[in-house]
Amino acid sequence: MLSNLKGIFRPRSIPEALALLEKNSGSILVMAGGTKLVKSPNDIVQELVDIKDLGLDYIKEESGGIRLGATITLQKLVESPIVNEVANGVLSKAAGMCNRSRMIRNVSTLGGELVTAGPLSVLYCALLILQAQIRIVGGEEFALPINIFLNKKGLGGGLLVETLIPAFKETTVAALVPIGTESTDALACAGARVTFQKGSCQNVKIAITGCEKIPQRLHEAEVVLEGKPLTGPNIEAAAETAHQLYRPISAPLASEEYRKEVSRSLVKKALVQCLESAEDQL
Amino acid sequence: MDIRITVDGRALKADIPPNQTLSDFLRAHGCWSVKHGCETGECGNCTVIVDGRAVYSCLMLAVQADGKSVETFESVQKRSEFAPIQEILMDFGDMDCGYCIPGMMMAMKALIDRIPEPTEEEVLDQLAGTVCHCVRSVKPASALLEAVQKMRGNW
Ligand SMILES: Cc1cc2nc3c(=O)[nH]c(=O)nc-3n(C[C@H](O)[C@H](O)[C@H](O)COP(=O)(O)OP(=O)(O)OC[C@H]3O[C@@H](n4cnc5c(N)ncnc54)[C@H](O)[C@@H]3O)c2cc1C
Ligand code: FES
Ligand code: FES
């Protein structure tokens, strides 16, 4: 594997890493944890840029939110008290679900997962409802909202350096409800996040995995709840709208019909969990 | 490429091809407990501990362990305090060949080094990435917990 690999660079700064990537583009790749790359049948790659010494393995809490460095491992996200505190720990939960094996989570990184995960990714779903921003440096430095990053996916030879989770109001709650997590990714997973203001829902975000390319944001279902109290009938109405909007795919492991069928109850459960958290916390 | 790795307390220096995996490197240096299993990150037979964390050595390049400390089953097999865990793993479900034991043992060691009193859930989570090719069944988490209790006297 990586049969033509001739060398591995270990730069100590981001500019140094970028210069290496630019100079050798075409035959060079970034390596983070390496869990995907090491067994890659890629015989074009001749050099790797190991980014583990760039000081990007951090979790920082600041007034604007939480900054997560690209090389922080999935297991550190699972264990971090800071990340567990945010929005009912949905990001920690999602990081734990990226891979059942702790031996992989101990090495694979948030950046690597963001670049490689697919339409079933519970992590993408969590980041969508948390409204994460992805910071990339290349020729220039820019931050992309997670939905735009996922739709584009190409880094244009740049480096993904950071994920920002914007700060939450104390009255914000969130939930992730997966189905079928026995072996790999969940067959489908719904995520919901709601901020309560004087008893009514604000800034509602609902997303679900198992679609063509990336998890689907269910905007019209969010609108059903916006400005209204999170009551049983309102939850039912939002879940029904979500079910109507959802465009699932047929692979892998579950059919389109199955995913469509369970979507109503997954969204409903996610909203009920938000309600229960609100009753406990607020 | 030149690397320096501490393996089971031994400081090793070597010039290796950049695509050599850590498992191949360790076996080339006499750590035969590090098994070739699936080689794709699914069975855990190659599990070792790098700087305190259990990892699959088949999915890591030796270069990635440069400057780090690696523990293999070679370092724990003769330490009597680990015997209760080893016995439980071997007794469980008529294990046949024992091929999976070193990897499971290292996964368990990494857990109890970090969390001296793990819960059943933590044991199951830790062992979720290890597979016994002969028995293929759920790991004896509760028995392992008892073994951890037994060990603690000798810890
Ligand atoms: C057995 C097995 C089962 C798996 N099952 C699942 C699963 O069920 N669900 C799932 O989502 N994933 C799964 N994975 C994928 C796994 O989670 C990925 O291997 C991992 O997330 C990649 O992270 P890494 O840090 O090891 O990336 P690497 O292997 O180092 O890199 C992967 C790719 O991302 C690029 N890259 C990495 N970091 C950056 C960065 N900061 N900037 C730019 N490019 C970057 C690399 O160039 C490379 O192309 C599985 C992997 C294995 C081995
Ligand atoms: S041989 Fe490494 S995980 Fe199977
Ligand atoms: S006893 Fe044979 S692989 Fe476990």
What are the pLDDT digits (tens) for A249-280? 997 788 999 999 999 999 999 999 999 999 87
Give pLDDT, residue B137: 57
What is the length of chain B?
155
DSSP B45-96: TTEEEETTEEEEGGGSBGGGGTT-EEE-HHHHTT-GGGHHHHHHHHHGGG--
Choose the most confident range, by mean pLDDT, from A249-258, B38-47, B109-118.
B38-47
Distance CA A180, CA A228 (A): 32
Mean pLDDT check: name the lowest of A18-32, A240-254, B49-63, B85-99. B85-99
At the second CATH level, the architecture of B76-151 is: Orthogonal Bundle (1.10)
- Partner A contacted by B129 (CB < 8 A): yes
Task: Give which of A282, A152, A251, A147 is closest to A207, Cα–Cα.
Answer: A147
CB contact under 8 A, A39 and B1: no
Determine the distance in angstroms separating the CA of B44 from the nearest CA of chain A, rounded to an integer.
8
Verify whether ligand 3 is closer than 6 Å to residue B134 (CB atom): yes
CATH topology of domain B2-74: Ubiquitin-like (UB roll) (3.10.20)
Domain ranges of chain B: 2-74, 76-151
Beta bridge mates, B63: none
Rounded to the nearest integer, the mean pLDDT of chain A is 92
pLDDT category at B98 given cuts 50, 70, 90 is confident
- Chain A contact for B107, CB < 8 A? yes
pLDDT, mean of residues A195-217: 92
Rounded to the nearest angstrom, the minimum Cα separation between A100 and chain B is 6
Identify the CATH number of the domain defined by range A172-281: 3.30.390.50
pLDDT of B94 > 60? The answer is no
Instruction: Say yes or no: CB of residue A75 within 6 Å of ligand 1.
Output: no
Is B113 touching A (CB cutoff 8 A)?
A: no
Q: Please determine, for the modelled complex, whether the ipTM score is greater than 0.90.
A: yes
Cβ–ligand 3 distance for B114 under 6 Å, the answer no
Q: What is the pLDDT, as a whole number, of residue B138?
A: 53
pLDDT at position A264 is 97
Subunit contact B40:A39, Cβ cutoff 8 A: yes
Sequential DSSP letters for B91-154: HGGG--S-TTHHHHHHHHHHHHHH-SS--HHHHHHHHTT---TTT-S---HHHHHHHHHHHHTT
What average pLDDT does this structure show over A184-195? 90
Residue A48 predicted with pLDDT over 60: yes
Contact B59 A3 (CB under 8 A): no
Checking if the pLDDT of B97 tops 90, the result is no
Q: How many residues does chain A have?
A: 282
**What are the tokens at A102?**
């702790």
For residue A239, name the pLDDT band (cuts at 50, 70, 90).
very high
Measured from the alpha carbon of residue B136, the closest ligand is: 3
Residue of B43, B100, B130 to mutate, ligand 2, most atoms within 8 A of C-beta = B43
Q: Each residue of A52-91: b (16+ CB within 10 Å) or e?
A: eebebbebebeeebbbbbbbbbbbbbbbbeebeebbbbbb
pLDDT digits (tens, 9 = 90+) for A100-142: 899 999 999 999 999 999 889 999 999 999 999 999 998 788 8
| Total Cβ atoms within 10 A of residue A43 | 11
Comparing A75-89, A243-257, B86-100, the range with the smallest average pLDDT is B86-100
B76 and chain A in contact, CB less than 8 A? no
Query: What kind of fold does domain A59-166 have according to CATH?
Result: 3.30.465
Largest Cα separation within chain B, whole Å, is 45
**How close B40 comes to chain A (CA, Å)?**
7
B38 Cβ below 6 A of ligand 3 = no
Index of the ligand 3 atom closest to the CA of residue B97: 2
The whole-number average pLDDT for the span B49-71 is 97
Q: CA-based angle B63:B67:B71, to the nearest 5?
A: 90
Distance CA A220, CA A98 (A): 28
Lining ligand 2 with CB less than 6 A are B 36-39, 41-46, 56, 58
For B71-98, give one letter per residue: b (16+ CB within 10 A) or e: bbbbbbeeeeebbbbbebbeebeeeeee
Q: What is the pLDDT of residues A136-159, one digit of tens each?
A: 998 788 899 999 999 876 777 789
- Per CB-CB distance under 8 Å, the chain B contacts of A34 are 59-61, 64
- Above 50 in pLDDT, residue B154? no
